[in-house]
Structure 1
């Protein structure tokens, strides 16, 4: 299994990097070159309204006319992607690239995982038919998660969590060995080619004290409740857009709403949010508590709208922005709250509510602040936040519009 896993890992990472690079180049054209040539402010209210509505039109055309209709409704999908027919994958890639460039608040993770799973399954079972068919999607998912986060640790945690409820043959490490090889290959390829970094370079956090523990519990719980507000609203917002019936109505209207939200929250609430959190963290005291709170609420609303109206994308990266903004809002309100504690707690709580992936939530929160001393606080905070989200609806719908539990 080692050689196929290595190949899947490298190919999955290169596809992710290729789509991201193409979207970034298009983003520069749409948000820099074009407004400069027209003499319009890059992030003026007018340009944000025009660009987001136009992105809705472009993605709507792909969903309407391209074979496969860019895959299933994104509100019904998660990290565990279905195996899509090969004919669906080009349209899904195109819709994802247009979304990433145009500014809606979604990340690349769900559609990129779906494309890699479809490609690995379709090619793998033809080139190496003796390999178990069910292994190819697992390898592709692990490889893509490793590529997305630049480390195989996140993939190992996701796969381990997925296997927790199954009857396994042999040791756990035997079952995760091949996926971990794929994840390592994907992560190394991304690291060598793209040089990603999740460290926000926040002020160094020393040894925790009782105040830090209290801050972790309060902020993580508040973040989980805030995330649950979006989760509970999803069926209703999704249902409202579904009444429009046609993608050429749903997506342009959704783009217009996203433009109006961006006019309120500012340009930092656009796009998937990964670059934008770096800008926030570079100056934790550069915005007021009210500004951080506005960005938090607007970004969460934008995530909800983009998911509901049909834009193809994932929810992890914009949810991270929501958690970072909330944590820095707590720091701005109470100066005694360390920025690293606020950010880690905010990201942890929001991701637990949005994803229900406990290990990934812990990993991402810890990776952003790059502090081993905060791990104990994060574990305690996760227990409090988990009590608020477990057993409740998830931010994923069934085909009939009811929430997954």
Structure 2
């Protein structure tokens, strides 16, 4: 399919069309993992609890351990020798993600996997579970979505399985970022990132040593177990925050042009400062500065503000961001976007008090930062870092889809000027 071969950017229609199969693949991958592990748990209980109890034996004794593992080795050998497909590929000869097996090999691989997991063998479930899920889902997708490339199904299935295995999409993201980079650039991503990462770590540690922690301290409670209602609420808040930033982006270029009609920086920055002063007087101290500490203060005192007051803070901060950025002031826009997103989350919480505060703040930050910088990794990272609750990550990785579809082709807070060498007889 167009847009999924790694060489062309997928269209919004393609993303939306593939999102449903991707979600289904992820769900089925998790269910496949769950069923295999449950079967292994039942067999494990039989081998290490029920049978020793029936016979009055100590399951921790050396001879029982020897007997079980020897028996498991024998059983695996029988399956590998005689079962159709020979229990799948030898795990020592294939990568974590391999070409799909035939369906006839799946039953034998399931039996071998359950035996290994239940019998105490020192191997993990990741490789065989990915192989089982891949074989099943390649066949399933080929039946219902035959136009989807098999390679894409393999990657998505492996990602869904890894996400289920580790309880977070981060591991899958890291694994497949490296795989994609290796496929497209001919080298491992880690080799390319090692030195920049080392420098970043050194800079971060040094800054913490000399100036203490630089992150926002909101002290929000943990979400706990995610629910479907959380997903809906998070998507609404994230999209609302993104729309706030897009509203600012819609006037960004015209306002920049309007300020430049004054021609001289002294004039338009002075005018910009006057406008910012008025906005600051209207919005109060919380709407000043980059917004990190102000956001933390606002979150701690959120109950003291009405919905109307919070909406006013959002409007003033957004206006101040747009004016400052277009009137010639130097600085970045992500920090103010974080403040705006968090405040949108507070607005949602003031309207629906039952919604978890950490959830709406994280989703608000996700939507605002993604709309501002169009980088999903940065948006996810900042949202988690600010809230400090890793249990939100799965929800954020789902919420990012509607936000991305909303902002991907929308205008950015960016003005593309004509390069200096292309301008004749004018000062740029």
Q: TM class by shorter-chain length? A: 0.5 to 0.7
Which runs of 5 or more structure 2 residues have no equivalent in the other structure? 1-169, 420-428
Q: How far does residue 226 in structure 1 lie from its aligned partner after superposition?
A: 1.3
Is residue 396 from structure 1 mapped to residue 405 from structure 2 by the alignment? Answer: no
CA distance in 1, matches of 2:278, 2:307: 22
1:190 to 200, 203, 207: 207
> For residues 292-344 of structure 1, what are the alpha-carbon distances to aligned partners after superposition, in whole Å with 9 as ceiling and x for unaligned?
11101110110000000000100011111101111011101111121111111
4+ residue runs of structure 1 moved beyond 3 angstroms?
163-167
1:370 aligns with 2:388: yes
Partner residue in 2 for 1:246: 264
Q: CA deviation at 1:381?
A: 1.0
C-alpha separation in 1, matches of 2:224 and 2:358? 10
CA separation of 1:235/1:248 partners in 2, compared to 1, >3 Å: closer, same or farther?
same
Q: 1:175 aligns with which of 192, 206, 210?
A: 192
Pairing partner for 1:302 from 296, 320, 330? 320
| Pairing 1:284–2:271 present | no
Deviation of 1:398 after TM superposition, in Å, equals 1.1
Please point out which of 364, 368, 373 is paired with 1:346: 364
Any residues of structure 2 matched to 1:3-402 within 5 Å, and which? 168-196=185-213, 197-400=215-418
Aligned residues: 244
SS at match of 1:388: helix
Q: What is the rounded CA distance, in whole Å, between the counterparts of 1:285 and 1:317 in structure 2?
A: 23
Distance in 1, Cα, partners of 2:304 & 2:221 = 14
| TM-superposed deviation, 1:205 | 2.1
Does the 8 Å contact 1:168/1:175 carry over to 2? no
Q: CA RMSD in A?
A: 2.3
Q: Secondary structure at the match of 2:236?
A: helix
Distance 1:165 1:292, change over 3 A: farther
When normalised by structure 2's length, the TM-score is 0.54
Bigger Cα Rg: 2
State the shift of 1:357 in Å: 1.5
* Mapped contact 1:288–1:332 kept (Cα < 8 A): yes
- Contact conserved, 2:242 with 2:407, CA < 8 A, in 1? yes
CA deviation vs aligned residue, 1:22-75 (integer Å, no higher than 9, x gap): xxxxxxxxxxxxxxxxxxxxxxxxxxxxxxxxxxxxxxxxxxxxxxxxxxxxxx
CA contact (8 A) 2:181 2:189 kept: no
Structure with greater contact order relative to length (CA < 8 Å, sep ≥ 6):
1
State the alpha-carbon separation in 2 of the partners of residues 262 and 319 from structure 1: 17
Cα deviation, 1:139-184, whole Å, max 9, x if unaligned, reads: xxxxxxxxxxxxxx9xx99xx79x9699534211101111111111
Please, which runs of 5 or more residues in structure 1 have no aligned partner? 1-152
TM-score calculated relative to the size of structure 1: 0.57
Query: Please, which moves more after superposition, 198-207 or 339-348?
Result: 198-207
* 8 Å contact kept, 2:358–2:387: yes
| Shift of residue 283, structure 1, vs aligned partner | 2.4
Aligned to 1:51: none
Please give the alpha-carbon distance, in whole angstroms, between the structure 1 residues aligned to 2:181 and 2:386. Answer: 26
Contact residue 323 and residue 348 of structure 1 kept, 8 A: yes
CA contact (8 A) 1:231 1:353 kept: no
**Deviations 1:101-142, CA, capped at 9 Å, x for gaps:** xxxxxxxxxxxxxxxxxxxxxxxxxxxxxxxxxxxxxxxxxx
CA contact (8 A) 1:327 1:343 kept: yes
Q: Is contact 1:284-1:339 (8 Å) kept?
A: no
CA 397–240 in structure 1, closer or farther in 2 if over 3 Å, else same: same
